[in-house]
Structure 1
Amino acid sequence: MPALSELDDFDLCLKKPDAVYCIVDLELLEDDTPLYQFIKNFSSLTYKNYQHSKLHRGVCGSQHCGLNTTHADAGESTSEALRNCLNSSIHQGYGLQVDNLSVRYCKTQDDYIPPDVLDYVVGVLLLALLLVNLGCSAYYFLWPVEKEKANKFMLAFCVQTNWKALKHGGSAEGGIFKCFQALRFYTMVMILGLHSMIFIGYGYTANPEFIENSYDDFFKALLFNARVIVQIFFVMGGFLMAYKMLVYAESHPFTLKTVPMALVNRWLRLMPAVLVVMGLAMTWVPHMGSGPMWDAVVKRERDMCRMNWWQLVILSPNLFPFEHLCLPQACARKLGWLSPWSLDCLLLPQGTAEEMGSKRVNAHETPFPGFNSDRWWNCPNGLGSSPS
């Protein structure tokens, strides 16, 4: 079969000033030849095999197809020239023909996107944040003060105190939730393995047979589908958030205001890191490299983030089509918003532990202060079912 994807050397091609490098997708013409029928049958196993009748090429057009810088616009003339060129080589090598061809983009030596206003604005903000961190860290290092007497806002930007919090923030034994340590470890191992496979989906692979045969291996297939393991993070996060709110309800009134405030608190904790990563992705990261697939992956992510940044700000990007996502690796966020609303059925509104103390007959009737069994049975969508 023809190679599923082939890329000419990008850097070597663009050393010449009049060189043109194009990324194209082409589809083979269906016919009755034995080879095409084999490709058709082989590709019909869509759950494990690539579509081998659809090929991908990175072509140094100036070297192999007679293109020049006038073809850099990837227009009809470029498409026709590349179609004739690739049709000739594929027909000569395999007896197959190209049915249609589309040009994603073409690159030349002079391609350059200058920084715009947004790039400079984000750059200034990130530089200011870096200077604040360095300044606070230097001040704390040169004039150390006790934590109780220090300015808490300054300590928030201090590298030393944040490192101590990260290093000593939890008990080595794990407390009552020590089982979570094992879940976190194994989940992170699977997540790292999963992210190593992302490049297969984003770019081209020189050895598709390895990927296709891997689905017959249980452990490799498990790795390919490891994104399901992400649900463990949601379960742990939702459980811990629910536990924290139940503890809070023992000494504070649990009202309609409590749930929105909990969500706002979580949003404020997540948003700084999200904004920094998103800001870099939509501004300076595209300027940091180049390559045959750079525009298809990095520049596309830049365009998606500039267009759909608000989806990530509301932390619910997976409610929208995947092909339009900004930072697809951050797509699963909305489940974290559900646990507080579920608790509304249990705790709203019952008052503090002192107010509930006179109503508690024994520990078995009320598992925690504020629990309302009548509201539990009335929760919608199967959170509870009537004992009768």
Structure 2
Amino acid sequence: MEEDNTHHKISKKLSNMLLTSYPPFQLGDVEGVSKECRLQSKHFIEDLKEFKFWALKMYDGGAKFPSGILHGNINQLGDFDMCVNSHSKERNIHGQYCLTNLEIEIPKSTYLSGLYQLIMAYDHIKTKIEDSGHRVPRFSSIMWAVCIPSVCTHEEVEKGLSKAIQKITEGTDLKIRQKVYPENCHAKDKWEVPISTYIALILFVGFISWLMFATLYHHWSFNPQNEWILAFSLKKNFDSLFTIKNNSNDIEVLHGIRWLNAVALIAAHKNMAMLFEPFSNRTGMVDEVASAISLVGRTASLYTEPFILISGILTAKSLLGKLDKTKKINLWEEYVSRLFRIVPSLAFLIFFCTFLMPWMSSGPMWNQVVTHHSHICKKNWWRNLLFIHNYFGFSNMCLTHTHHIGIDTQLFFLSPILVYVLWRWPKRGMITLTTIALASTIYRFYLTYVMQLSNYIHMSASTPQLFATADYSYTQPSHRLQVYVMGIFVGYLLKYSENVRLSQDH
């Protein structure tokens, strides 16, 4: 009895302190909220006052006012797992984690503007609360986690935020907008794996089983062996992938160039991806990201150009060799061969990222980034397989990192004409290709100047500007044609000029 009294006194004192100092987000007294949501919110507060464990978990799962605000520590993700795992069997209440977005409009004040710049880490990327946020983070928005009963909807959370914000801004010129996206609300009792994912999982397991069978088939060395089965052997493919045998037609120096650019391109992509992270010292992170040396990671276009150049070199060298032998190019054979090499692996990647990857994990921004991409792929996957996805904009592109495949394939389909003209009429061909490259350069410069595009991510670049650069320049083959033509010229020189060699000996 004495122990119970002691527990009750301590619990009451602690709960009073918490509710007074750090009031929980709740919807029990918000107008326009459903009866069930209000009732469960009130039960949550009642049990929190009694210091019940499930209510403490819900309370602890939401964001609290942090330290380090002036260092940009404003994005508070709370504790995702703590929130979604909170559950009251007695009251049948499940915790729901919602990541809200808040956008502050500072009144005209030099002092307040200075504070805002520190809080928002200098607005490194200018974004709006309405931006999609799946490819470029909503950097100018405050991310604030709340933990509520799962019966409450994201619209009801917005109404609760509106009421809380009204209390904060009342009597001031400060304006705060709020937005809660449905995909940013997570509750375990609402997670339903679609049938398509189960079907995809069965197909995936079946494919892995087939790979294992093909590998064992290869290992047992049946004679004669079926080449179609051997094509799926892991042993054969790994041997081919990691071989260091020299090929007489190989240009070894290109491997080093390709590797260096691949590493730089990964760094450029990670430079943007890291902006999603809730840094406790975001101003310091932005200082590093905006430094001169970081320009290496902010100029992704520089690292895609060499891949276009290399593609032009290898394609020209191959087609010129066939023209010398047969005096013609078998377009059907060239196109079908390329499609057979690319389409299966690309289709598998789309299949995996669309149906399986969204259910492999969870987290505060998992749906915003990964699941959002999968929804786009469910609608637009066919564009990727037709290699036209780069014409429909970054915001609606399935797997944005595959845009280069579309560019390279379109240029490859054009290459037989360019190479044949250069082979058949060398002088006229050079003039024609040079004119095409010059026109591509002028067009690229014109659009960049008129539309104020930026080929690198600079301080305070806006999301519309970044997307415009991607849509009108970065993903367009017309803007990469001059580089591809340069590659064709290099391939032509390597084929016919005895004084030009790309090897370790020269």
Q: Which TM bucket (shorter chain)? A: 0.7 to 0.9
Question: Is residue 135 from structure 1 mapped to residue 210 from structure 2 by the alignment?
Answer: no
Q: Which moved more, 1:222-231 or 1:150-159?
A: 222-231
Match of 1:308 in 2: 380
Match of 1:179 in 2: 253
Shift of the alpha carbon at 1:38? 2.3
Name the CA distance, whole Å, in 2 between partners of 1:180 and 1:158: 28
Letter in 2 for 1:14: V
Question: Is residue 159 from structure 1 mapped to residue 159 from structure 2 by the alignment?
Answer: no
Name the CA distance, whole Å, in 1 between partners of 2:354 and 2:395: 16
Of the three residues 239, 245, 254, the one matched with 2:313 is 239
| CA offset digits 1:37-94 (Å, max 9, x no partner) | 32577899989465699432232243xxxxx3332x211x321212333565789xxx
Q: Residues 371, 204 of structure 1: CA spacing in aligned structure 2 closer, same or farther, 3 A cutoff?
A: farther
- Counterpart contact for 2:121–2:286, Cα < 8 Å: no
Letter in 2 for 1:163: F
| Number of equivalences | 349
- Counterpart contact for 1:316–1:332, Cα < 8 Å: no
- Counterpart contact for 2:103–2:140, Cα < 8 Å: yes
Q: Helix, strand or coil for the counterpart of 1:70?
A: coil
Letter in 1 for 2:368: A
Q: Residues 201, 264 of structure 1: CA spacing in aligned structure 2 closer, same or farther, 3 A cutoff?
A: farther
Q: Residues 275, 56 of structure 1: CA spacing in aligned structure 2 closer, same or farther, 3 A cutoff?
A: same
Name the CA distance, whole Å, in 1 between partners of 2:108 and 2:218: 76
Match of 1:168 in 2: 243
Q: Helix, strand or coil for the counterpart of 2:424?
A: coil
Return the TM-score normalized by structure 2: 0.61
Shift of the alpha carbon at 1:227? 4.5
Name the CA distance, whole Å, in 2 between partners of 1:384 and 1:222: 26
Q: How does 1:166-245 map to 2 (within 5 A)?
A: 166-168=241-243, 170-171=245-246, 177-202=251-276, 204-245=278-319
Q: CA RMSD in A?
A: 3.4
Match of 1:55 in 2: 141
| Structure 1 spans left out of the alignment, 5+ residues | 63-67, 349-366
| CA offset digits 1:221-272 (Å, max 9, x no partner) | 21132353022122112221221111111112425xx335423321221111
* Identical columns (%): 17
Question: Is residue 371 from structure 1 mapped to residue 424 from structure 2 by the alignment?
Answer: yes
Shift of the alpha carbon at 1:325? 1.4
Shift of the alpha carbon at 1:27? 1.7
Match of 1:80 in 2: 159
| CA offset digits 1:115-162 (Å, max 9, x no partner) | 32x3233333322322221112112212355xxx43211210112221
Q: Helix, strand or coil for the counterpart of 1:289?
A: coil
Question: Is residue 36 from structure 1 mapped to residue 112 from structure 2 by the alignment?
Answer: yes
Q: How does 1:269-308 map to 2 (within 5 A)?
A: 269-308=341-380
Question: Is residue 110 from structure 1 mapped to residue 182 from structure 2 by the alignment?
Answer: no
Letter in 2 for 1:162: N
- Counterpart contact for 2:73–2:279, Cα < 8 Å: no
Name the CA distance, whole Å, in 1 between partners of 2:321 and 2:139: 59
Name the CA distance, whole Å, in 2 between partners of 1:247 and 1:201: 47
Match of 1:266 in 2: 338
Letter in 2 for 1:59: A
| CA offset digits 1:324-375 (Å, max 9, x no partner) | 1111111222332314524414426xxxxxxxxxxxxxxxxxx9xx532375
More helix per residue: 1 or 2? 2
Match of 1:341 in 2: 414
Match of 1:125 in 2: 203
- Counterpart contact for 2:214–2:230, Cα < 8 Å: yes
| Structure 2 spans left out of the alignment, 5+ residues | 1-69, 88-92, 128-137, 439-506
Letter in 1 for 2:234: V
Match of 2:103 in 1: 27
| CA offset digits 1:275-294 (Å, max 9, x no partner) | 11110111111111111111
Match of 1:70 in 2: 151
Q: Helix, strand or coil for the counterpart of 2:404?
A: coil
| CA offset digits 1:285-307 (Å, max 9, x no partner) | 11111111111011101101101
Return the TM-score normalized by structure 1: 0.78
Question: Is residue 100 from structure 1 mapped to residue 150 from structure 2 by the alignment?
Answer: no
Q: Helix, strand or coil for the counterpart of 2:101?
A: strand
Match of 2:81 in 1: 11
Q: Residues 259, 40 of structure 1: CA spacing in aligned structure 2 closer, same or farther, 3 A cutoff?
A: farther
Name the CA distance, whole Å, in 2 between partners of 1:35 and 1:245: 65
- Identify the structure with bigger relative contact order (alpha carbons < 8 Å, sequence gap 6+): 2
- Counterpart contact for 1:378–1:384, Cα < 8 Å: no
Name the CA distance, whole Å, in 2 between partners of 1:234 and 1:41: 40
Name the CA distance, whole Å, in 2 between partners of 1:90 and 1:14: 31
